[in-house]
Structure 1
Amino acid sequence: MMLPRSTYVAVADGEKLNLFRNSGDEVALKLTHVVHHAVGRDNQASRSRQNSPSNPDESQAGEDDFSASIVDYLNKEVLDGNIDGLVIVAAPRALGEMRKHYHKALTAKLLGEISKDLTGHSVADIELALRGV
């Protein structure tokens, strides 16, 4: 995947968000860590569901809430004009929850998604995954 300069890359799972920016160019990808405000679990994405064998337990509901909160943050950044291009790399379950909350403005800025958990991986591993898509 060729990413224009300044494209943001959000790497997430149900517990953590790492945000990067391509400080290289389309040919020479170079991810730089971006400091962002803390994302909480204040989005109640799945709290209305009751716990049962077919519904998530409290832990899973918390992860779903965090995933939704990540998207709330990214939606705001896109709407404020701070993100012009975005790639989301997320654990499959988290990505599924995140998709439910995309604003149409975020969808318009979305350059790609990778359904893979890379939150505990090095920047080199993330860059490799981005190049391989």
Structure 2
Amino acid sequence: MKLPHKAHVALVDGTTFVVMQNTGKPFAPELEAVAKPELSATNFSAGVRHQDPVSQQQGRTDLNELAHGAAAAEWLNARAIAGEIEGVLIVADPKTLGEMRRHYHSELEKRILGEIPKTMTGETSARIAEAISTA
């Protein structure tokens, strides 16, 4: 995947949110950490969709994790609306990514360069850059 110079990369899972920026070339990204925002998970709207008692008992749905994904999307929305983010690649585990999509603002949608449904929050920047290059 081509990642433009200075494009942002949002790494998200149910508990972690890290924003990085490409300081390298489009086909040879080099990622540098820009921010690790502290989010306040207040949007529990996913609870309306995830009322299945079996899933709750088996631990398949954690509303706190989904609320964290919603908060990450809201943080990205605010930066896109303010013009602080020109292009962003979102790398998130599939469940978090699905929740984030429900909260994208149209301004953020215009700036999304792509999505990678994969958990990469614990990986090194070199491994993340490699995953982006091969996507």
Of 28-37 and 93-102, deviating more is 28-37
1:100 corresponding residue in structure 2: 102
User: Which residue pairs with 2:41 in the alignment?
Assistant: 41
Displacement of 1:18: 1.2
- The correspondence of residues 11-26 of structure 1 with structure 2, limited to 5 A, is 11-26=11-26
SS of equivalent to 1:131: helix
Structure number with higher helix proportion: 2
Q: Percent same amino acid among aligned pairs? A: 34
Structure 1 stretches of at least 4 aligned residues deviating more than 3 Å after TM superposition: 47-51, 54-57
Contact 2:17 2:36 in 1 (8 A): no
Residue 19 of structure 1: SS of its match in structure 2? strand
The SS at the match of 1:5 is: coil
Aligned length, in residue pairs:
133
Over residues 96-133 of structure 1, what are the superposed CA-to-partner deviations in whole Å (9 max), with x where a residue is unaligned?
11111111111110000000001111111100000001
Using the alignment, how far apart are the partners of 1:90 and 1:36 within structure 2? 15
Does residue 130 of structure 2 align to residue 124 of structure 1?
Answer: no
The alpha carbon displacement at 1:45 in A equals 2.4
Aligned-pair CA distance for 1:36: 4.4
Letter in 1 for 2:85: I
Q: Partners in 2 of 1:77 and 1:36 — Cα distance?
A: 14
Q: What letter matches 1:22 in structure 2?
A: N
Structure-1 separation of matches of 2:18 and 2:35: 9
Equivalent AA in structure 2 for residue 119 of structure 1: T
Query: TM-score, length-normalised on structure 2?
Result: 0.89
Query: For the residues of structure 2 that align with 1:37 and 1:83, how far apart are their CA atoms?
Result: 15
Q: Give unmatched runs, 5+ long, in structure 1.
A: none
Unpaired stretches in structure 2, ≥5 consecutive residues: none
CA-atom RMSD in angstroms: 2.0
The residue type equivalent to 1:95 in the other structure is: L
- What amino acid sits opposite 1:23 in the alignment? T
